[in-house]
Amino acid sequence: MQWESWNAFWEMGGAGPFVWGSYAVTAVLVTMELVMVLRGRSETVRRLLRLRRVTAGQESGRRSRDRA
């Protein structure tokens, strides 16, 4: 164990802002990327489903026009 107390741990021998600034920004970016990637797939599925409904609607519209 390197640290006399939790305070000493957070202070990092006076380098606290530099050390924790590095780790915090990395943690935020990694979390953001994970959220974006996992959400991205369900958004893609939803968008493609919508797209399919739109094109299906156009096709059936065209077919009924052709019949008329």
Partner 1 sequence: MRETTITTSRPEPRSLLRFAAPQMFYPLAGRLAPWFATVALVLTLAGLWLAFFVAPTDAQQGEVYRVIFIHVPAAWMSMFIYLVMAFWSAVGLVMNTRLSFLMSRALAPTGAMFCFVALWTGALWGKPTWGAYWVWDARLTSQLLLLFLYLGFMALTTAIEDPRRSDRAGAIIALVGAVNVPIIYFSVKWWNTLHQGASVSLTEAPSMAATMLAGMLVMALAAWAYSIAVALWRVRALILERERHTEWVGAELTAQEGKL
Residues that bind partner 1 (CB under 8 A): 1-3, 9, 12-15, 17-19, 21-23, 25-26, 29-30, 33-34, 37-38, 40-42, 44-46, 48-49, 51-52
- 5 versus 65: smaller Cβ distance to partner 1: 5
For residues 21 and 19, what is the distance between their CA atoms, to the nearest angstrom?
A: 5
- 1 versus 68: smaller Cβ distance to partner 1: 1
- 31 versus 62: smaller Cβ distance to partner 1: 31
For residues 13 and 7, what is the distance between their CA atoms, to the nearest angstrom?
A: 10
- The residue whose two tokens read 């021998």 is 13
For residues 26 and 12, what is the distance between their CA atoms, to the nearest angstrom?
A: 18
